[in-house]
Structure 1
Amino acid sequence: MSLVWIAAGEASGDILAARLVAALRTLAPGLRFAGIGGERMAEQGVESLFPIRELALMGLVEVLPQLRNLARRMGEAEDALRRDRPALLVTVDNPGFTLRLARRAKALGIPVVHYVAPQVWAWRPGRVRRMVGVVDRILALLPFEAPFFEQSGIPVEFVGHPILESEAAGGDAARFPLDGPGLLVMPGSRRGELRRHLPVFGAALPPGVTPVVALAGTVEEEVRAETASWGARYVRAPAEKADAMAACRAGLIKSGTSSLEAAVAGLPHVVAYRVNPVTAAIVRRLMRVRHASLVNLLAEEEVVPEFLQERCEPRLLRAALQPLIDDGAEAERQRRGFHRALEKLAPPGGGAPSAAAAEAVLRMLS
């Protein structure tokens, strides 16, 4: 019975890893699993080596104070790999941690598959050279990523985006009754994101709306405390969040996979994001793409408005949200754009993206 070690470093990676484990169990029931994950991997019976909330850091200023703890956790993960000697390491997203772990795994002679291509095509494309010889294959979620990495000699397989499998498309508004128009708020799953987003998002709430706040397990207590004065409702389970998306008129969503999730649900929204000013200055100098939102990148136009850094401020956000809450022409324009973006995310052979990823992993094992 082969052991597959899976390392995810944040909430979104935990979801992808859990779906991958479920698909692998279906295709190869004899596999065993160990690694680093969150509550979704735990639901699949994979106990985490340590809590992934310790890895959910974003930005240079956030990471620096945690370097000692990160180094300790890295050592624990390396020791576990040396002890377990898995047939394969699958690293999932969060390249700051997982690719460092991949380098140590390769030194131990363990093959590595990296699931979710790092967005080096968006900024600092030269970083792709650091992955050469570190990972044996990349499983890419976006169709335009494979040619980029293959130019550097790294085998890449486009397996489709698991967001197409999310519960978001199956929501039922009748199961989530609201008093007045609802606004889904998705502030992020990292503590730094919450510190920068929640005060702005709270001040941006249009009058008369019912805020519905999506909770991530790693930061649930912090979100509840910071939004206690909003008069908000909260959703946590994926099925309940899908119902909330179906019931809400609009979304105020941090940039990232959450925007794709809203698109799957057909929920018009605006994208907002802030990072530490030092990090922002560095990223701006290195950016190589026109859009931050994956919906906009896939559609090759601005389907959803983006409010980044200094433009992430209450007045602008409120003004952009109001037409969506009114459910007029702007909301319908976004829904048409969602369709154009999402149709590019299906795996080439059809079927479920997580099954395509599982098949790629099994080919590596064989």
Structure 2
Amino acid sequence: MRAPCANSSIRRPVASSADLAIALAAGEPSGDVLAARLLSGLRPHLPDARFHGIGGPAMAQYGFESHWPMDKLTVRGLLAVIPRYREIKGIQNALRDQLLAERPACFIGADYPGFNLGLEMQLKAAGIPTVHYIGPQIWAWRGGRIKKIIKAVSHMLVVFPFEEEIYRKAGVPVSYVGHPMAELVPVTIDEGAARRQLGLPEDANVVTIMPGSRMSELKYNTAAFVGAARLLLKRDRSLRFIAPMAGERQRQMFLQMVEQAGLQDVEITLLDGQSHTAIAAADAVLVASGTATLEVALHKKPMVIAYKMMALEWQILRHFGYQPWIGLPNILEREFVVPELLQDDASPDKLADAMWKQLTDAPHRLQLAERFTAMHHSLLRNSAQESAAAVLKVIGK
């Protein structure tokens, strides 16, 4: 039996990549994309290594073998996980037992901390090095998680520069690898090309609405977002509204919510995917809180961040935050550079008022573009190479 590995400075020599197995687990599409980026950096160094565990189609492009469908783990919301707990826990235990028997060179948890940190803790205690990518947002809420992270993680990969100091102070080996999205979005945005691609006039006044990709987000956000669009049209009939849909299920849920709210008269062009193009084409974006807010900032676009959820969840979660901001652009800038309207404040009239300022305040729009450009440069690294280099160091390659 190998001696326990307390941190990434303890390495195990590997004869060749053919002898190597690396396990990974991603629990939702964003983690699948994140892990795939890492695998794209690892595969050239480890051409014959076996990558396996739980993942999705993006990871499969790099020869990843998934033992369970990733959507078995994809549950969002504090209360939604309860009826699925036994199934998810069973998958975690089965994967743990498999990895303890196999003893891979390391385990990499791609985000999804509720599942991965518990698994990592057990694997690390057994001497299997663990890497977690990306760092949980302990700077925003649930800071007590750092105690679990210390026990669970051999090496942390973070995507925001300020996170390095947090983990380093806690004694967790850490690497800042840049944010993968900063590489996907051009620093200079061609708004005209995006509009031509979507068949929009280049001189149109375009508003992109993004109420979320999860069913729960569409359920709670759609009526308020489309209601705000109706009010904005009363101020400017020339406005064009577009909304990227993550899939057919999301499209149908969106249409259902619009019909239930009696907002069928609001003309909105629904797009199949193409979220980056929809953002690039916009004059301003009404966006649900989450990673999409960073997408909008990287496109240098004015925005209003909004979010609604089940009332009980809101009452629970509203007391856990450590910062006055929930939107990533505001967190990174440490101030309200764009408005955030949450729960009861995310009403159609308040959203419309906030969006109107984003559309019409020219000096504010210019200032935002400058700040978001600086933010883009601060997040720009070759994340595939940086994250792969950190993993290779952990496994002694």
Under TM normalisation by the shorter chain, which class is it?
Answer: 0.7 to 0.9
**Which of 197, 207, 225 is the equivalent residue of 1:175?**
197
**Which of 155, 164, 167 is the equivalent residue of 2:182?**
164
**Hey, what's the Cα distance between the residues in 2 that align with 1:342 and 1:292?**
19
**Hey, what's the Cα distance between the residues in 2 that align with 1:53 and 1:67?**
14
Aligned to 1:356: 386
**Which of 220, 224, 231 is the equivalent residue of 1:196?**
220
Deviation at residue 133 of structure 1 after TM alignment: 1.9
Unaligned runs of 5+ in 1: none
Aligned to 1:330: 364
Distance 1:122 1:176, change over 3 A: same
**Which of 222, 226, 235 is the equivalent residue of 2:272?**
235
Distance 1:185 1:144, change over 3 A: same
**Which of 24, 27, 30 is the equivalent residue of 1:9?**
27
Cα deviation per residue 1:120-140 (whole Å; 9 max; x = unaligned)? Answer: 121221221112221101111
Aligned to 2:15: none
Matched, 1:226 2:253: yes
Distance 1:265 1:80, change over 3 A: farther
Distance 1:51 1:183, change over 3 A: farther
**Hey, what's the Cα distance between the residues in 2 that align with 1:175 and 1:331?**
24
Moved more, 11-20 or 176-185: 176-185
**Which of 240, 245, 250 is the equivalent residue of 1:215?**
245
**Hey, what's the Cα distance between the residues in 2 that align with 1:122 and 1:266?**
24
**Hey, what's the Cα distance between the residues in 2 that align with 1:55 and 1:197?**
24
**Hey, what's the Cα distance between the residues in 2 that align with 1:18 and 1:283?**
31
Matched, 1:340 2:374: yes
Aligned to 1:246: 280
- TM-score calculated relative to the size of structure 2: 0.82
Deviation at residue 231 of structure 1 after TM alignment: 3.8
Distance 1:114 1:318, change over 3 A: same
Moved more, 205-214 or 147-156: 205-214
**Hey, what's the Cα distance between the residues in 1 that align with 2:96 and 2:286?**
39
Matched, 1:273 2:300: no
Which amino acid in 2 is paired with 1:215? M
**Hey, what's the Cα distance between the residues in 1 that align with 2:361 and 2:38?**
37
**SS in structure 2 opposite 1:227?**
helix
**Hey, what's the Cα distance between the residues in 2 that align with 1:232 and 1:62?**
31
What root-mean-square deviation, in Å, do the aligned CA atoms of Structure 1 and Structure 2 show? 2.4
**SS in structure 2 opposite 1:48?**
strand
- TM-score calculated relative to the size of structure 1: 0.88
Matched, 1:25 2:43: yes
Moved more, 130-139 or 281-290: 281-290
Which amino acid in 2 is paired with 1:331? R
Distance 1:78 1:195, change over 3 A: farther
Deviation at residue 79 of structure 1 after TM alignment: 4.0
Deviation at residue 168 of structure 1 after TM alignment: 5.7
Distance 1:123 1:267, change over 3 A: same
Aligned to 1:51: 69
Distance 1:281 1:126, change over 3 A: same
**Hey, what's the Cα distance between the residues in 2 that align with 1:334 and 1:53?**
37
Matched, 1:316 2:350: yes
**Hey, what's the Cα distance between the residues in 1 that align with 2:158 and 2:105?**
21
Distance 1:44 1:168, change over 3 A: farther
Deviation at residue 57 of structure 1 after TM alignment: 2.8
Distance 1:119 1:113, change over 3 A: same
**Hey, what's the Cα distance between the residues in 1 that align with 2:184 and 2:283?**
20
**Hey, what's the Cα distance between the residues in 1 that align with 2:364 and 2:82?**
42
C-alpha contact 1:11 1:189 (8 A) present in aligned 2? no
Aligned to 2:13: none
**Which of 268, 289, 297 is the equivalent residue of 1:255?**
289
C-alpha contact 1:324 1:330 (8 A) present in aligned 2? yes
**Which of 287, 290, 297 is the equivalent residue of 2:321?**
287
C-alpha contact 2:129 2:154 (8 A) present in aligned 1? yes
> Aligned pair count?
356
**Hey, what's the Cα distance between the residues in 1 that align with 2:156 and 2:251?**
37
Which amino acid in 1 is paired with 2:305? V
Which amino acid in 2 is paired with 1:358? A
Distance 1:195 1:77, change over 3 A: farther
Distance 1:277 1:362, change over 3 A: same
Matched, 1:135 2:135: no
**Hey, what's the Cα distance between the residues in 2 that align with 1:289 and 1:232?**
36
**Hey, what's the Cα distance between the residues in 2 that align with 1:151 and 1:282?**
29
Distance 1:138 1:203, change over 3 A: same
**SS in structure 2 opposite 1:335?**
helix
Q: Quick check: which has more Rg, 1 or 2?
A: 2
